[in-house]
Amino acid sequence: MKPLRPSLWVLLLLTMALLAGCASLGQRESVRVSIAGIEPLPNEGLEARFAVKLRVQNPNDTAISFDGVFVELELEDKGFGSGVSNQQGSVPRFGETLITVPVTVPFTAMVRQVLGLAGNERFEGLSYRLRGRLGGVGFGGIGFDKKGVIELAPKGGAG
């Protein structure tokens, strides 16, 4: 077997160093995103619009900068609305920030939800899924995916 040339050794070492650096980037905790509030915006045609306030928590020891936000909202496992914002900012290390994203809900999605909920006699909560991405420099930003239930009736209430 022929020994490697010095230039190949250097290339091999640089590749290993780059891979080690990328591996350390992947060790950060995921951001925590939750809905902090929803306020109505003026409607446009047959669409409803809402200002969805997202609470973004950063459990890492370095700040996370973002440039743009995208969100998709599902209710009861059905697409409901989506929105984008070109808002820029950062989430401090071990801190949180609020980001407001205008979300558009098509008329058809509203009708589908109303019809789907109309036959449910024991309706107590609404399951949701919030997916999206904080745009950022390098590697396409940071994605998030949160599932939960919006409680609409008191637990253990009379019925």
Residue 25 has pLDDT above 60, yes or no: no
Range of the domain at 119: 29-151
CB-CB contact of 56 with 134 (8 Å): yes
- Total structural domains in the chain? 1
Residue 29 has pLDDT above 60, yes or no: yes
Q: Predicted confidence band at 159 (pLDDT cuts at 50, 70, 90)?
A: very low
Query: 11 in a domain, yes or no?
Result: no
The overall average pLDDT reported for the chain is: 82
Per-residue model confidence (pLDDT) at position 83: 97
Condensed to tens digits (0 to 9), the pLDDT of residues 78-121 reads 899 999 999 999 999 999 999 999 999 998 887 887 777 666 66
User: Which tops the pLDDT comparison, 56 or 122?
Assistant: 56
d(CA 118, CA 98): 34
CA distances for 123 relative to 43, 97, 103, 148, angstroms = 27, 33, 25, 15
Query: 20 in a domain, yes or no?
Result: no
Query: 10 in a domain, yes or no?
Result: no
Sign of CA dihedral 28, 81, 35, 136: positive
Report the CATH number that the domain containing residue 110 is assigned in CATH.
2.60.40.10
